[in-house]
Amino acid sequence: NYSYEEAKEMVLEAVKPLGSEYTDVVKDGLENRWVDVYPNKGKRGGAYSSGTYTSNPYILCNYTGTLDSVSTLAHEMGHSMHSYRTNHTQPVHYANYTMFVAEVASTVNENLLIEQLLQKETDPAQRMALLNQYMEGFKGTIYRQTMFAEFEKEAHAASERGESLTPEFLNQLYLNLVKKYFGEDLVIDDEVQYEWARIPHFYRPFYVYVYATGYSTAVALSEGILHGGQERVQKYLEFLSMGSSAYPIDELKHAGVDLTTPEPIDIALEKFAKILDDAEETFAKLQQK
């Protein structure tokens, strides 16, 4: 387990590639009551970042000392820094950023954290835990959310063709997509066909795809921040200050990611392949012990 003081230092170390100005604001926020840290009686679970145009951002957290809690702190601080920078550079009518870019800044921070931890970690068991968490992010956010988006798209298309969206039809559609996305090597329980019914995001039409585009964008951006030099860092910081003053796709282009091309997706999947190779090598070392 990590103490909250350790978590703060881990987050600060992770965001150092973004420069001293960014890091100093993060440090100030962590030290000066931006974060409601621990679980408490009657307190809502989960985590989120909130605030107003004229206030500092505020983070609801339920910190428990796990690696996931540290990652969540980095994630929410990414949202808060996005809000902080837009509120300090944009007029109020442009200060709110769109859902299309909302998860980018938060996921960049998560990726910077795990990359920094992997760079230092030499113990195979600890590396395996980090790599597994990294891969789960790709699986859950790129593959699974894209599968959700295809389910939603196909259901709407069937309705437009005049077909009835019966439970049986939706069950079969979902089951077929699970088999398509996860392959024949995965043992698939029949009960998974009902999973679509418990996904609340489907009540907000065409919402889920932004998770996959946002994660792919964040991977491409974090790779650029770590390996692309100061110009890439500066472009990313400018993106964080744009709010909704430009179209989302153009804001991302300014940061160095063009989602009108397959390139960001290719970069993300190439990164996933490298992480998988690393995991296989690390697992082989564990087996030798």
Residues 6+ apart with CB under 8 A from 205: 152, 156
- % of the chain at pLDDT higher than 70: 100
Report the alpha-carbon distance of residue 103 to residue 174 in Å, rounded.
26
Report the alpha-carbon distance of residue 86 to residue 57 in Å, rounded.
11
Residues 6+ apart with CB under 8 A from 122: none
Q: Is 201 exposed, middle or buried (0-12, 13-18, 19+ CB in 10 A)?
A: middle
pLDDT tens, residue by residue, 79-127: 999 999 999 999 999 999 999 999 999 999 999 999 999 999 999 999 9
pLDDT tens, residue by residue, 127-145: 999 999 999 999 999 999 9
| Both tokens assigned to 157 | 């298309």
**From 3.40.1280.10, 1.10.1370.20, 3.50.40.10, 1.20.1250.20, which CATH number describes the 97-289 domain?**
1.10.1370.20
**Quick count: other Cβ atoms within 10 Å of Cβ 72?**
22
Domain ranges of the chain: 1-91, 97-289
| Both tokens assigned to 287 | 């087996």
Span between the terminal Cα atoms of the chain, in Å: 24
Reported pTM: 0.92
DSSP 8-state class, residue 59 = E
**Residues linked to residue 48 through DSSP beta bridges, in sequence order:** 60
What average pLDDT score do residues 32-37 get? 96
| Both tokens assigned to 273 | 């392949």
pLDDT higher than 90, residue 26:
yes
pLDDT tens, residue by residue, 36-81: 999 999 999 999 999 999 999 999 999 999 999 999 999 999 999 9
* Residue 76 a catalytic site member: yes
- The residue among 86, 100, 87 whose CA lies nearest residue 252 is 100
List 5, 9, 21, 76, catalytic entry: 76
What average pLDDT score do residues 25-33 get? 97
Across the chain, mean pLDDT equals 96
Q: Cα angle at 77 between 75 and 82, to 5 degrees?
A: 100
Phi-psi category of 37—alpha, beta or left, where left has phi over 0 and alpha has psi -120 to 50?
A: alpha
Report the alpha-carbon distance of residue 32 to residue 26 in Å, rounded.
10
pLDDT tens, residue by residue, 144-172: 999 999 999 999 999 999 999 999 999 99
- The residue among 109, 89, 106 whose CA lies nearest residue 246 is 89
pLDDT value at position 184?
86
Indicate the pLDDT class of residue 288, thresholds 50, 70 and 90.
confident
**Strands 35-36 and 48-50: what pairing?**
unpaired
What average pLDDT score do residues 239-258 get? 98
pLDDT higher than 80, residue 243:
yes
Q: H/E element holding 177? A: helix 167-182
Report the alpha-carbon distance of residue 38 to residue 62 in Å, rounded.
5
pLDDT value at position 249?
98
DSSP 8-state class, residue 189 = -
Tell me how far CA of residue 152 lies from CA of 169, 214, 276, in angstroms. 13, 18, 29
Indicate the pLDDT class of residue 289, thresholds 50, 70 and 90.
confident
- The residue among 116, 46, 106, 112 whose CA lies nearest residue 76 is 106
**Residues linked to residue 58 through DSSP beta bridges, in sequence order:** 50
